[in-house]
Structure 1
Amino acid sequence: MFKNHIKIAWRSLKKQPFFTFLNTFGLAIGMTGALLISLFIYDELSFDKMFADAHRIYRIDADIKFGGAEIDASQTSAPMAGTLQRDFPQVESTVRFRDQGSMLLKKSGTVANTKELRATFVDSTFFDFFGVKLLFGDTKTALTQPNTLVLTKTAAEKHFGVKNAIGQSLILDNTDTYTVTGVIDDLPKNSFLRDHSVFMAMAGLADSREDLWGNTNYYTFIKLIPTAKIEDFQAPLQSILEKYLLPWAQQVFPGLTMESFAASGNYYRYHSMPLTDIHLYSNRQSEMSANSSIQNVYILSFIALFLIVLASVNFMNLSTAHSLKRAKEVGIRKTLGSKKLDLVSQFLTESGLISFISLLLALVLTLLVLPLFNDLSGKSISLPYESPFFWLILLVATILLGLFSGSYPAFFMSRFMPVKTLKGGEQKYAGGVSIRNALVIFQFAISVFLIIATLVVYQQLDFIQGKDLGYTKDQIVLIDDTFAAGNQVDTFKEEVVKLGKVQSATLSSFLPTPSARSNTSFFKEGSREQENAIQMEIWSVDEDYIPTLDMELVAGRNFDDRFGTDSAAVIINEAALPVLGIGANEVLGTRISQDIESEEAEYYTVIGVVRNFHYESLREHIGALCLLMRRSTGNMAVKLSAGDFPKTIVNIKTIWEELAPGQPFNYRFMDDSFNTVYETERQLGKIFMVFSVLSILIACLGLFGLAAFNAQKRTKEIGIRKVLGASIEQITFRLTTDFVKMVSVAILISLPLGWFAMNKWLQDFSYRIQIAWWVLALAGFLALTIAVLTVSYQSIKAAIVNPVKSLRTE
């Protein structure tokens, strides 16, 4: 029987190639989009699950409010790990990381350096803790001694070759010599360590052994024993505050109590974050790698569901509309003894066959567009051919899709009354117009919603690009690792400034775009109580920093190297004024200090106030910041005049190679560096745009088919109208009006939903747009225009047919 159903289904599909194409292609597009999104979501949900005992691993985070600043820290203090291991029986083992950012590496006895983007100090427990295997070396001894390190396979290959790396010496940042004691495989792209290639022994870092509870520089991970529950660990974790942090703080603030600390509005809370949740649920300061958001996963899940539902709705609409053509077939079958169940089976077989053909086409399309999708999403995903589970899910999903898509047409066509169908009577309940209309409205409501989302995301990105950031990011080129020039770094700056197309240059490791960060507590002179502490970012800059980045001073003056006293001067931003409780002009001359433990503390005098500039993402409020005139040679920012940028960069490179031979020349433009902060939003905007286009395409395919069927069904009506004098424009208008009404209803439904959903999304930004009325109007106009163009083709085609030919049609 099944074989017979397949044979009849194939014949039926071949008889109606136009509708078969629309159904198959529509389903294939929906399945392709859903498959791509599913692969993306699977990759996002799989982050860090490859590590041994990942479900028992947690990171210790801290929520801190102190000195007017609120800090969501992903790091804790150096002694935290040892304390947890010693005092908490629930903790099986711990490991710490102290991230160092990028580093320059070279073999001993050579001049040329190679840059590794991410290096970190790590405890020797790293290998057993995460189940990381060494390709070469011994996990028991690899990172136990100071000045030893482990390289990833790719990093080892750069310097020595994988097999020859053990025992070799490397010089890091032209200063310290390390011995290679191990080589590990490259870490997975879906792990928080994906960008790290150099792991240095924590044993060689003196700071890691200090009992400094107030410094938060170490990523601390714990692994619970198998029987422990994190809920039982969370409450005792807070005891560390009173037992260890408070005694340390009392050395600085005698008489401090937990009660007085809380009474001043400050707080310090520890909590745990599951390792497998970090990528999607953590958005804290100084994450070890860029994280995504569970919100994006939800959004993309809905889009995938929408695409499948849109394609299924198309199938239902076209099948039910086409059912009138098969009414006599159903009547004859019933007259010859076919049961309702047999007819349902036949029609479901047809929908299943279309689903499987669509699946094959979707797999081909997925293979073709996967490279483009990877570029779009910043992923490196692929189809998991070797996974039986993948094929099983695909098979089950295709069967369910076929059943879902074909169920409505199958059950209703099987209810045709033989007497009416053979007489040519209409079946009011089969393929009801109201149901088809509702499905079209549903399709376009989703499409309009996605158009609104796309417009809002791009408008927010445009707002970010155009917002006055308080500094200039255009025509600024950043040269990394200028410290590698050693004592020639000042000469390098001087020679670069002499170039004709260079306006100015500044040396600093601290930039408004992603760069080094440092913060500390300051106190006004004469105020040594903890409630009067001022938490500020502290950046070391030179006298050319403010003019190079076009920052504006609202009070006071800039640093001047002619004044020796400026080595003990600071410039603060406007955000520091409310914390200090002084106005911009009144604050000039105020003395502040980091050191309050001695009567001979070093004080800095405020000589200027710089207008607030965005040194964090626009998701965050601008915090207090101070600039010190201190030597910091990590980067050089060069302000260029408009003109031939490539030629100027070549000239800068020539100077670099003369003064720092063998050192890598790495540069980037500041606006590109700025854009990396919003890469997630950019990717989301591109994904919205692509899948909005797909959803509209699917909806238009359905509308196109329905318009063709509607025009075909009303052939005689059109002929009679033309004979009675109706113009082509009047007939086209009449045939189009019904569809325009449906799309208009869809627009009215989707506009408030789109406005509400995108307002929720914008709440993540401290600086954001307001959704303008024209955004909603444009989304509606685009949908309506596309629908009219789609329907008009079929309407005009029907309207220009010779009426004699129309009236002869049976």
Structure 2
Amino acid sequence: MKTAPKILLWLLDRFCPPSRQDLKGDFLELYEYRAKEWGRGRASVSFFWDTLTVLPLWFLVKKKQPSRSSIPMFSHYVKIAFRNLSRCKAYSIINILGLAVGLGVCLLIYQYISFELSYDQFHSRSNRIYRLVETDLKNGVRQGRDISTVHELGKFGKENIPEIEEVVRINLWRYELGIFNPENDIPYQEDNVWFVDDSFLNVFDFPLLSGSRESALSEKRNIVLTEQMASKIFGEKDPIGKTLHISGGWPGGDYIVTGVLQKLPVNSHMQFDFLLPMKLLLSEEPSYKNNDGMGWRNFSTYVLLPETASPNVVSDKFDLIADQYFGKELAASNEKWTFDLQPLKEIHLYSDNLQDPSGNNEDIANIKLFSVIAVFVMLMAWANYINLSTSRSLHRAKEVGVRKAIGARKRQLIGQFLVESFLINGLAVILAFGIALLSLPVLNQMVGKTLAFTIMQSSGFWLQFVIVVVVGSLLSGLYPAFVLSSFKPVSMLKSSFRGFSQGLVVRKGIILFQFFLSILLISGTWLVYRQVKYMRDQDLGIDMEKILVVYGPRFQTFEFDAMLSNFSAFQQKVVQHHSVESISGTGSVPGKGNMWTGDVWRLGELLDDGKLVSIDQVDGYFTKTFDLNFLSGEPFREDLMKASYAGVAIVNEEAVKQLGLGSPQNALHQKVVVSAGDTLEVVGVVKNFHWHSLKEAQIPSIYMLNNAYGAYYSIRVSLSDMPQTIDYIKTAYDEVYPGNEFNYFFLDDAFNRQYQADLQFGNLFTAFSVLAIFISCLGLFALVSFSASLKTKEIGIRKVLGASVGQLMTLLSKEYLVLLLVASALAIPLVIWGGQQWLENYAFRVEMGVEFIVVPAFLLLVVSVLTVSHSTWKAARGNPVESLKTE
């Protein structure tokens, strides 16, 4: 026999009237049956709901003298509640609509937050998987904290740390590969390729449509692809055992398809199209097979631990391994590595301060902020209910007085008004689900993801939702219930009764609270808008609007002479067009990240004097195409335009400063050493420009000459007749690089996509804020309308004595405008503090000023004036003869 939870039994004993103790046995029998059929979770929710149905009876009967007429009386109160709702249709609609919108917004936010919190939880061992996070200390100063490690670290960890069950290393291939199926000879250029250890599919539970988890990545020339890629390349055919040919540098060759994965879950921080074996990368990629395992830190390392293992103990052992295997090299540069383990479930929301190349993450601060907005919205909705219910006390006074005169007790009156509160909230709940379902596609468009209302399948959600609605209904209904039931019958039955004056301070306090929250929300919206606009409008040091970027060819011979010859031919064809000003081949472009980051120091200095510098390979036309401003030196010389490696580089201002090269003029012809082994002569210094998002500070950068390496072809064009220009470039590309897919993008669009997450956050914040303010305005409109109806005779007298319409409107509106000013003053400290905290995430940011209070206050003033103007205008324009007849 399954017994209901003790807390639910206590609630039933507490609120079930003595006269209806037979209900307890019925409820327990139902619980036992439901527990067997549905499980204890859903059965407990249903038992809790059954308990709530007897709550109104508790208010209708005395504990010592139970009444036999509780059920009929409850039915009577429900009828009265419906009659009151139908008699005052406008106020009822406002109340229900306000609550419905509030609940609907909360449901949307709950679904969004639930989705964000669900990331990576579909893996069966998600609570045992951790990602290694490295902190780099140089000369005792923290240089950075990111997920990039050397590839040997994971290998040494598995060999020396007994707690580790399995290790998975991941390397993201950052450039396009040419991929085609020899059976149909159709080329594709894809760039979402990951190199992973063969344990990847055993540790992570990505659904496998076909193939073996154990052997899919066991051989160097195996390849695993997702369902979408399999359909794109092979159509309806089974790809297992088929051959794929890859071109694009050293990975080029034939591969056997050994696995096909189902469409990757959206709530995974890992999003890829192809998987290639890690053993291929480490054995054939020249940069890795010829180094000691320490030269390149661009691997993500995941470990699988037993449930009993301590992550802190394991991370401490990684510290010891770093000292043991890499200590001598680290000591030479006065560096130290320390590690910690980040739980898999926290990666999506707690990686904001980490350098994470996957970029598929959200900030937990945003999730918390949306949670606060949801609370604000519901508080506003319930505040409206309290305000309207208490302000309408005059209309309910005679009803309450008559009931008290014929013997109704206070508890019974409170029960009646609570029934009305539950009824209004119940109707709002039904409407809220409709609003949420209809609004979900809009939410999906804002966040760029496909969400479904999965929360309705969770018993935990229903329990929380019922508790929130019940508690909210009680709290929002108790105050009006106590106010209305506390009036004396004698005073209520008099025609001079003015119940509206009671609780005036409370009602003004509620309006002040709503204005305060509205100011905070509008200020936050305005701040997000201004910051994003600031970043997008800032002078980047490059005229990106005129640069068209074409992806470099992946199907070609990757020998220097052939690559240089092909690019020269393509370049000569393209520049013949009257709209083309210049073309440059580079390893990366602004907004796509740098090729790599490494230690750089002046020639002759010690290793520990090195600084972390971003490095890119560019050709001789780089500075001309990107129109960079030289502070000293000049573009690469003509005689170097045909060299594969000339040992020269151009640096930015920040590199001159960080490397201690003196002034831009003094930096010329000095030599710097790159950790990869290259010694470069500085032949030019350019003014700082933004290669990355303005969220990041300026970083020291080196642009070394390599005329043949062009992952991207940047073409400076005039903006007239763009379709014809693009067609011409495509024709030239197809002639020089036959069999390669022609793909392009505009540099300014790609650069601004870095702000996509900020834009999505701003759109969500704005949408939820507008809905919250709409709820507040609904209550304000109803309250002003009711306030005006109570001052009908006063308005008539003032009009007879010569008051103008403007004066009367001011009379009716000024108290609300004063409250708005007070709310604005109270919001100033919180807006300034919260705004500064949020702006700390941006290296380049707007300054907090009075505009972030003045503009929101002015906007709210305009909205408030428009809200109250209809009611005040109508009252002020009324006929004084008619108004003086009212009692």
TM-score bucket (shorter structure):
over 0.9
Structure 1 position 518, deviation (Å): 0.7
CA distance in 2, matches of 1:223, 1:204: 23
Task: Report 1:560-579 matches (<5 A).
Answer: 560-563=637-640, 567-579=646-658
Structure 1 position 301, deviation (Å): 0.9
CA distance in 2, matches of 1:803, 1:602: 92
CA distance in 1, matches of 2:132, 2:397: 68
**Residue type of the partner of 1:122?**
V
Comparing 227-236 and 133-142, the one that deviates more = 227-236
Distance verdict in 2 for CA 1:602–1:671, change over 3 Å: closer
> 1:803 is matched with which residue?
880
Q: Return the match for 1:593 from 673, 682, 685.
A: 673
Task: Report 1:356-755 matches (<5 A).
Answer: 356-384=426-454, 385-424=456-495, 426=497, 432-484=503-555, 487=563, 488-527=566-605, 529-563=606-640, 567-581=646-660, 582-594=662-674, 603-630=679-706, 631-755=708-832
2:381 equivalent to 1:311: yes
Structure 1 position 117, deviation (Å): 4.2
Q: Return the match for 2:325 from 244, 247, 250.
A: 244
Q: SS of the residue aligned with 1:606?
A: strand
**Residue type of the partner of 2:575?**
V
Structure 1 position 110, deviation (Å): 4.8
Q: Cα deviation per residue 1:643-662 (whole Å; 9 max; x = unaligned)?
A: 22233223322333333344
Q: TM-score, normalised by structure 1?
A: 0.93
Structure 1 position 752, deviation (Å): 2.5
The two structures, once aligned, show a CA RMSD in angstroms of 2.3
Residue pair 2:103, 2:432 contacting (<8 A) in 1 also? yes
**Residue type of the partner of 2:377?**
L
Structure 1 position 490, deviation (Å): 3.5
Structure 1 position 156, deviation (Å): 1.0
> 1:21 is matched with which residue?
93
Q: Cα deviation per residue 1:321-371 (whole Å; 9 max; x = unaligned)?
A: 112210111111122222222222221221222112222222222222221
**Residue type of the partner of 1:511?**
V
Task: Report 1:247-396 matches (<5 A).
Answer: 247-249=328-330, 253=332, 261=334, 266-283=335-352, 284-384=354-454, 385-396=456-467
**Residue type of the partner of 2:98?**
G
Structure 1 position 249, deviation (Å): 4.8
CA distance in 2, matches of 1:673, 1:88: 43
**Residue type of the partner of 1:105?**
I
Structure 1 position 4, deviation (Å): 2.9
**Residue type of the partner of 1:245?**
F
Q: Cα deviation per residue 1:693-728 (whole Å; 9 max; x = unaligned)?
A: 222211111111011101101111111222222222
CA distance in 2, matches of 1:61, 1:231: 12
Residue pair 1:483, 1:489 contacting (<8 A) in 2 also? no
**Residue type of the partner of 1:34?**
C
Structure 1 position 480, deviation (Å): 2.0
Comparing 383-392 and 45-54, the one that deviates more = 383-392
> 1:35 is matched with which residue?
107
Structure 1 position 482, deviation (Å): 3.3
Q: Cα deviation per residue 1:450-503 (whole Å; 9 max; x = unaligned)?
A: 111111111111211122222222122211243446554432233222222222
**Residue type of the partner of 2:160?**
D
2:83 equivalent to 1:11: yes
CA distance in 2, matches of 1:61, 1:225: 19
**Residue type of the partner of 2:722?**
F
Comparing 720-729 and 60-69, the one that deviates more = 60-69
**Residue type of the partner of 1:422?**
L
Distance verdict in 2 for CA 1:570–1:274, change over 3 Å: same
Q: SS of the residue aligned with 2:298?
A: coil
Distance verdict in 2 for CA 1:311–1:190, change over 3 Å: same
Q: Cα deviation per residue 1:171-190 (whole Å; 9 max; x = unaligned)?
A: 22352221100111111111
> 1:108 is matched with which residue?
182
CA distance in 2, matches of 1:116, 1:755: 46
Q: SS of the residue aligned with 2:871?
A: helix
Q: How many pairs align?
A: 792
**Residue type of the partner of 1:285?**
Q
Q: Return the match for 1:187 from 242, 261, 264.
A: 264
Q: SS of the residue aligned with 1:205?
A: helix
> 2:123 is matched with which residue?
51
Structure 1 position 427, deviation (Å): 6.8
CA distance in 2, matches of 1:46, 1:641: 47
Comparing 97-106 and 22-31, the one that deviates more = 97-106
Distance verdict in 2 for CA 1:359–1:475, change over 3 Å: farther
Q: SS of the residue aligned with 1:471?
A: coil
Structure 1 position 85, deviation (Å): 1.4
**Residue type of the partner of 1:75?**
S
CA distance in 2, matches of 1:22, 1:496: 65
Which runs of 5 or more residues in structure 1 are unaligned?
A: none
Comparing 642-651 and 123-132, the one that deviates more = 642-651
Q: SS of the residue aligned with 2:172?
A: strand
**Residue type of the partner of 2:576?**
K
CA distance in 2, matches of 1:797, 1:446: 29
Structure 1 position 400, deviation (Å): 2.9
Distance verdict in 2 for CA 1:428–1:24, change over 3 Å: closer
Structure 1 position 636, deviation (Å): 1.1
Q: Cα deviation per residue 1:32-80 (whole Å; 9 max; x = unaligned)?
A: 2221111111111111111121111111111224599923221211111
CA distance in 1, matches of 2:788, 2:737: 76
Residue pair 1:144, 1:201 contacting (<8 A) in 2 also? yes
Structure 1 position 17, deviation (Å): 0.2
CA distance in 2, matches of 1:497, 1:202: 41
Distance verdict in 2 for CA 1:179–1:750, change over 3 Å: same
CA distance in 1, matches of 2:128, 2:699: 36
Distance verdict in 2 for CA 1:491–1:391, change over 3 Å: farther
Q: SS of the residue aligned with 1:145?
A: coil
Distance verdict in 2 for CA 1:37–1:103, change over 3 Å: farther
Residue pair 1:320, 1:430 contacting (<8 A) in 2 also? no
Distance verdict in 2 for CA 1:658–1:367, change over 3 Å: farther
Distance verdict in 2 for CA 1:134–1:483, change over 3 Å: closer
Which runs of 5 or more residues in structure 2 are unaligned?
A: 1-70, 558-562
**Residue type of the partner of 1:578?**
K
**Residue type of the partner of 1:88?**
I
Residue pair 2:196, 2:278 contacting (<8 A) in 1 also? yes
**Residue type of the partner of 1:278?**
I
CA distance in 2, matches of 1:50, 1:611: 48
Comparing 131-140 and 627-636, the one that deviates more = 131-140
2:218 equivalent to 1:144: yes
CA distance in 2, matches of 1:602, 1:302: 53
CA distance in 2, matches of 1:85, 1:515: 31
Q: Return the match for 1:97 from 167, 170, 173.
A: 170
Structure 1 position 520, deviation (Å): 2.4
CA distance in 2, matches of 1:797, 1:534: 72
- Give aligned-pair identity as a percent: 33
Comparing 557-566 and 401-410, the one that deviates more = 557-566
